[in-house]
Amino acid sequence: MYYLNACGLVCALGDTMDAIKERLLGRPRSGVAVSDACSPGRALPLGAVSSRLPPVCQLPPPQRSRNNQLALAALAQIRPAVDAAIALFGAGRVGIVIGTSTSGILEAENAMRQNTVDGTFPAAFQYSQQEMGSPAAMLAGELGIVGPSYVHSSACASSAKAMASAARLIKMGLCDAVLTGGVDSLCAFTVAGFSALDSVSSVLCNPLSANRNGINIGEGAALFLMSGIQAPVALCGWGESSDGYHMSAPDPDGGGARLAMEQALARAKIAPERIDYINLHGTATLQNDAMEARAVAALFGSMPAVSSTKPLTGHALGAAGAIEAALCWIAMQDDNPEGRLPPHLWDGVADPALPVLNVVKPGTLLGRPLSWALSNSFAFGGSNAVLVLGRTA
């Protein structure tokens, strides 16, 4: 069993578990707000982290980035548990597997802006700040970990894949504990890229709606301490597949998505009807929502409760899988005995072309603790990753 002993989370909903839980399960409200920070002259809804972040001046210059600040903010919430695991198992028996897609691109953008103005780069800028491996290297150095340490970068499936890889490290006997999850930071590069694909919405995103017209990009970090030490919630199954259908569009039949969900259920050794709640990838793009709705309906019917939490947090790209697993983790804790579920914020105008799903309304209760949750992450290039979390108590 791959227990999730501790979770640190910072996203558009807040930078403490209490604040995030209140905005997720108490009085749900979006953390997405309009800003032109990443698109000068065109204000867009973004899931930005507004809280003060830890300094990075103590880090080697190549590791000084907002991306790593977000990772440090999540780490700070669980640092005692991570330090205790290192003391118990030894620095060589603890690993790090992180997912990201942006790393230090923001710092490169800022440097290029200055270079355009005066022909020089900032003294603090280093090209290596963009290295995708930076978050893992930074965390390993900060914690003194010398076990396996690496990064997954497979677009929006990155951090879900990182968590699956962390479980495999424990399963293979290479690690006794792994710090795993994902981090991504807002930057103009990703906003411009998705805008070029006509995939960015100018209003709050609207998953599953007939009026959906694109995503809201977000940022954040979610880190888990995973080990064999018993905890209330565990990663019980995972599935990964590759469509190879198109560079940016999903396979409309959802075959790869369904295969990943089936693999995750098989590893967890549970039937589809036992899943209480599905956190949809739910980007609010025309093609993703259509594909995912069909795949979910074909495998689960209309029984499990479903929601997309991207209207709450924005789409944090490489960090999305871990952030959404963290939202499931929050809902599965002992302090939610009535099974309050993450809500689906939308206009309520169902797309008649999509199968009917059991969409979570704000305030929905299972009437018992949330026992089984499935979280979908479907990325560009047809990279699919699905996690199944289960309550163990």
Residue 367 above 80 pLDDT?
Answer: yes
Residue 46 above 90 pLDDT?
Answer: yes
CA dist list (Å): 237 to 20, 70, 100, 170, 263:
25, 27, 21, 14, 8
281: annotated active-site residue: yes
**Rounded average pLDDT over 350-372:** 96
Each residue of 304-346: pLDDT tens digit? 999 999 999 999 999 999 999 999 999 999 999 999 999 999 9
Residues 7, 281, 328, 344: which is the catalytic one? 281
315: annotated active-site residue: yes
* Predicted local confidence at residue 281, as pLDDT: 98
Residue 72 above 80 pLDDT?
Answer: yes
For the question of whether the overall pTM of this predicted structure is more than 0.85, the answer is yes
Residues 11, 38, 315, 344: which is the catalytic one? 315
CA dist list (Å): 243 to 220, 368, 378, 384, 387:
27, 37, 10, 8, 18
Residue 393 above 80 pLDDT?
Answer: no
User: Residue 129's closest CA among 99, 151, 105?
Assistant: 105
For the chain, the straight-line distance linking the first and the last C-alpha, in angstroms and rounded, comes to 13
Residue 224 above 90 pLDDT?
Answer: yes
Residues 156, 175, 187, 205: which is the catalytic one? 156
Each residue of 148-180: pLDDT tens digit? 999 999 999 999 999 999 999 999 999 999 999
Residue 119 above 80 pLDDT?
Answer: yes
